[in-house]
């Protein structure tokens, strides 16, 4: 039962933060392009890279992994929103915007995982 509670609380916190950050982004940008989803997913990539680097070569408890990686970060980022927003852009004949969204999200996400990992290694030296 404890693992389910950790998953629940991690998921709750990740989803709540996603909702708040995405809403904050849309206060400043028009909702005609999925800026909020891109922002949240890229931040999520940075965070997962950072924590992966922090805990590199360390044995983590299953409970901690469930809470952080599956629960919190798993619900903070989302692929389904990304897919739906691209579907809507393509359906609306906005192929260029869909391509930009796909490229920024995927390439930017991979780069930010590396950046997060690198930051964690630099900070561990202090």
The pLDDT assigned to 25 comes to 96
pLDDT in tens, 50-80: 998 888 878 888 899 899 989 999 999 978 7
4-37 burial string, b = 16+ CB within 10 Å, else e? eebbeebbeebbebbeebbeebeeeeeeebbbbb
Q: For the chain, what are the domain ranges?
A: 2-124
Confidence tier at 90 by pLDDT (50, 70, 90)? very high
pLDDT value of position 79 = 83
pLDDT at 57: 79
- Tell me what pLDDT residue 52 has: 87
Cα–chain-centroid distance for residue 92? 26
- Region 105-112: mean pLDDT is 96
Q: Can you give the pLDDT at residue 56? A: 80
């Amino acid at each position: 039962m404890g693992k389910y509670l950790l998953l629940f609380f991690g998921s709750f916190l990740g989803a709540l933060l996603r909702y708040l950050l995405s809403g904050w982004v849309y206060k400043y940008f028009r909702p005609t392009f999925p800026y909020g989803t891109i922002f949240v997913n890229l931040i999520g990539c940075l965070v997962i890279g950072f924590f992966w680097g922090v805990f590199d070569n360390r044995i983590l408890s299953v409970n901690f992994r469930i809470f952080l990686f599956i629960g919190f970060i798993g619900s903070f980022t989302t692929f389904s929103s990304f897919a739906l927003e691209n579907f809507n852009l393509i359906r609306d004949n906005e192929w260029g915007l869909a391509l930009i969204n796909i490229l920024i999200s995927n390439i930017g996400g991979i780069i930010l995982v590396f950046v997060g990992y690198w930051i964690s290694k630099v900070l561990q030296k202090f």
